[in-house]
Amino acid sequence: MDHFEYRGGVLHAEDVPLPLIAAEVGTPVYVYSRATLTRHARVFRDALKVLPRVHLAFAVKSNPNLAVLKVLAAEGYGADVVSAGEMDRALAAGIPAADVVFSGVGKTAAEMRRALAAGCGQFNLESEEEGAELAEIAGGMGLVATATLRINPDVDAGTHAKISTGKAENKFGVPYDRAAGIYARLSGLPGLNLRGLALHIGSQLAKLDPLEAAFTKAGALMHAIRADGFAVTHMDLGGGVGVPYRAGEVFPQPAEYAAMLARVTQGWDATLMFEPGRVITGNTGVLLTEVVRVKQGALHPWVVVDAAMNDLARPAMYDAWHDFSAVTPRGTMMTANIVGPICESSDTFAMAREIDTVARGDLAVFRTAGAYGATMANTYNSRPMVPEVMVDGAKWAVVADRIEPSTILSAERVPAWLA
């Protein structure tokens, strides 16, 4: 459920008509609904209340906007970060360092030092090598790093290959059958407080079965490690719950996810940690765009919009579908290809799609663009960095400026020997 609805034939974000935002900020622009964000954060959090001890760490990479993080901090979410930059954002939003989980396969020594100095709550180690390095750095600082060991459960998440992370051939975590040995060796290191296991098998999961299979394997490993005499008090079960991108698609509900967790983790006696991203932010945003022109095509017309793959990369990267709706529908439909202005054929949002009839100058939205949208934006083709707006009832504000190509140009230098 979201708060992007038609009123009097005009698409609104909560109480704000989208043409107003387009007129004042320009297009393309991401528009987030605070009510939708809060609602998703609460539904997920409340569903997991059937579990005894839970720690929620929002996956910052899905939407790192400071205003978004502020809302989630107020809802009691910690943060799952994958870089020092993301950690800085989480801290700037007021998320306590103790509630920050640092994930990622390539944490640098400098990032480890900074996170330790800030009081980062947990490092999710991706390898034995990383654990040894972290232990040494923490020891050198007179600190003990709290950590879990990420395992690769070798389970097929059944999602797009580029967002599948839990198969043996993926770069993430340590191999399942070597994990107990690595856990034992890392547990012996001063400078490291290894307290559990972590896993994350992929994103945009349409079914709970792969998660259940992975959690079951993780539980068995947890018991084996305890039987070896090592403590396992925390189990970080990652993120990955998918969301519907097409009207009519059915995805697992948070309550079903929670029921599965209650069944699988029964008797674990561990704090369960979660790193939800898309399920919290996916539905909370749309990308508002204007039709530049409609060009005649061989088979179907080309609807050229002013948003492009640099603003919303998912279709180009993952063949992803985003529903497309006119802001002021005319009541008729057309079959068209929707493309952006970038000089790449992959700058295509949809082919042969049945859409609201649109013409030059019309506004439209790509829906479900709140996760992995603005966060992946870039300035390819020397386009501006796309801005972001948050709506809250009848209030709205720009929460990220459009960064103009001139600003980026001003950061470039011509060396004296070329002048």
Ligand X SMILES: *Cc1c(COP(=O)(O)O)cnc(C)c1O
Q: List the x/- string, 31-70, binding to ligand X by CB under 6 A.
A: ----------------------------x-xx--------
Under the phi-then-psi rule, with left for phi > 0, alpha for psi from -120 to 50, and beta for the rest, what region is 267? left
Which is nearer to ligand X, 207 or 293 (by Cβ)?
Answer: 207
Q: Give burial (CB, 10 Å; 0-12/13-18/19+) of 144.
A: middle
Q: Give yes or no for residue 284 binding ligand X (CB under 6 A).
A: no
Count the Cβ atoms, other than its own, within 10 Å of residue 86.
Answer: 22
Distance CA 370, CA 202 (A): 18
Q: Give yes or no for residue 148 binding ligand X (CB under 6 A).
A: no
Q: Give yes or no for residue 196 binding ligand X (CB under 6 A).
A: no
Of 87-95, 234-242, 257-265, 283-291, which segment contacts ligand X by CB under 6 A? 234-242
Q: Give yes or no for residue 130 binding ligand X (CB under 6 A).
A: no
Q: Give yes or no for residue 200 binding ligand X (CB under 6 A).
A: yes
- Out of 27, 36, 103, 187, name the contact with ligand X by CB under 6 A: 103
- Out of 146, 203, 265, 289, name the contact with ligand X by CB under 6 A: 203
Q: Give yes or no for residue 99 binding ligand X (CB under 6 A).
A: no
Q: Give yes or no for residue 240 binding ligand X (CB under 6 A).
A: yes
Residues with a known catalytic role: 343
Q: Which single residue is written with the structure tokens 């097409």?
A: 246
Which is nearer to ligand X, 59 or 303 (by Cβ)?
Answer: 59
The answer to whether the Cα torsion of 298, 304, 310, 315 is positive or negative is negative
Distance CA 1, CA 393 (A): 16
Q: Give yes or no for residue 367 binding ligand X (CB under 6 A).
A: no
- Say if residues 68 and 285 touch (Cβ distance below 8 Å): no
Q: Give yes or no for residue 153 binding ligand X (CB under 6 A).
A: no
Which is nearer to ligand X, 183 or 274 (by Cβ)?
Answer: 274
* # binding residues, ligand X (CB under 6 A): 16
Q: Which two tokens stand for residue 107?
A: 């944490």
- Say if residues 57 and 273 touch (Cβ distance below 8 Å): yes
Q: Which two tokens stand for residue 102?
A: 């640092």
Q: Give yes or no for residue 86 binding ligand X (CB under 6 A).
A: no
Of 13-21, 34-42, 236-244, 257-265, which segment contacts ligand X by CB under 6 A? 236-244
Distance CA 8, CA 49 (A): 39
- Out of 254, 276, 315, 373, name the contact with ligand X by CB under 6 A: 276
- Measured at the alpha carbon of residue 202, what is the angle toward residues 198 and 207, in degrees to the nearest 5? 110
Q: Which two tokens stand for residue 282?
A: 């996916």
Residues that bind ligand X (CB under 6 A): 59, 61-62, 80, 103, 200, 203, 238-241, 275-279
